[in-house]
Amino acid sequence: MKILVTGGAGYIGSVMVPMLLKNGHEVTVVDNFMYNQTSLLDCCNDKNLTIIRGDAHDKNLLSSILKKVDAVFPLACLTGAPLCQKDPTAAQSVIIDALRLILDLRSNDQFIIFPTTNSGYGIGEKGKHCTEDTPLRPISLYGKLKVEAEKMLLDAGNAITLRLATAFGISPRMRLDLLVNDFTYRAVYDRFLVLFEAHFDRNYVHVRDIAKAFIHALVNFDRMKNEPYNVGLSEANLSKWKLCEEIKKQIPDFYFIEAEVGEDPDKRDYIVSNEKIEKTGFAAGVSLQQGIAELIKGYQVLKRNQFANI
């Protein structure tokens, strides 16, 4: 297929695009390279890849590309609560306005697979898994905008939304601000961590499994379309404390404690069921321990704080 990936040089896109190319698809990436990343350089020899340094808001650019593609993966985003809170106007523009532009310009037979977030669940009920039927109660501006974007897409039809768990793992456009990546980095270099509200739960998923979920949705579009799907590692519904215990299995001298005072500004606390997408034949394949081992190796290469969104 011919696929447009906006933000295709980002954390997820720079893992996904090589997979799409390997599967024989023709891929056009539109990215503004706002982090000066060099991801996708290793794909430039592939004749099926087109890279355009451009803006996901550029109506003329998108209009010309959309005439030639079968599907759109709108990955361009200001990702994460802190970044959206820092620049709410830009967040609205990238997450909502750019998506609305794609919806306005696409033809009826072009379909969209869109990454939203299970942070839309906000604060769940203790011990009860959030399913796709659980009411959405986002806390952050990022979560609220993603929930709004999901409704826009599902109302428009011919779309699939993937409610992603918190991502982890090595990517050519690395992010150190994601929870597993951040905690592992601190374990490697600081050997200690102070936790706030260590009992808060979250679900996790490796970035390669996110890419595979998009490809799975692409292959199974007709039977999955017009629905949201949680995408996570089912055995990785963990509190922050338990996550640190998992890291300590590979870094034995990692020391962590919970602060007696203070609070985490990110109030998300939920566990998630991924049963719906698993029933379609998809299952996350990279374990948390495999991801932590990968990160430990990767942090022998990386020791710079520029690899974050904020």
- Contact yes or no for 74/146 (Cβ under 8 A): no
Top-ranked range on mean pLDDT: pick from 31-35, 61-65, 301-305 = 61-65
pTM above 0.85, yes or no: yes
Dmax of the chain from CA atoms?
57
The answer to whether residue 307 scores a pLDDT higher than 80 is no
Residues above pLDDT 90, as percent of the chain: 79
- Contact yes or no for 176/146 (Cβ under 8 A): no
In a domain, 216, yes or no: yes
- Contact yes or no for 141/85 (Cβ under 8 A): yes
CATH classification at residue 228:
3.40.50.720
In a domain, 279, yes or no: no
Q: What are phi and psi of 180, to 5 degrees?
A: -65, -45
Please give the pLDDT value at position 249.
98
In a domain, 188, yes or no: no
In a domain, 38, yes or no: yes
CA distances (Å), origin 307, targets 12, 92, 207, 258, 304: 14, 23, 15, 26, 7
In a domain, 256, yes or no: no
Q: How many CA atoms lie within 13 A of 190 on its CB side?
A: 11
Please give the pLDDT value at position 123.
86
In a domain, 258, yes or no: no
Give the DSSP H/E element, type plus range, for residue 84: helix 81-86
Q: Give the separation between CA 310 and CA 304, rounded to whole angstroms.
A: 13
> pLDDT for 187-215, tens place per residue?
999 999 999 999 999 999 999 999 999 99
In a domain, 292, yes or no: no
CA distances (Å), origin 195, targets 167, 179, 215, 306: 19, 12, 36, 23
In a domain, 242, yes or no: no
Domains of the chain: total: 1
Q: Which domain holds residue 56?
A: 2-168+204-233
Cβ-in-10-Å burial (0-12, 13-18, 19+) of 190 comes to: exposed
pLDDT band at 80 (very low <50, low <70, confident <90, very high): confident
pLDDT band at 308 (very low <50, low <70, confident <90, very high): low
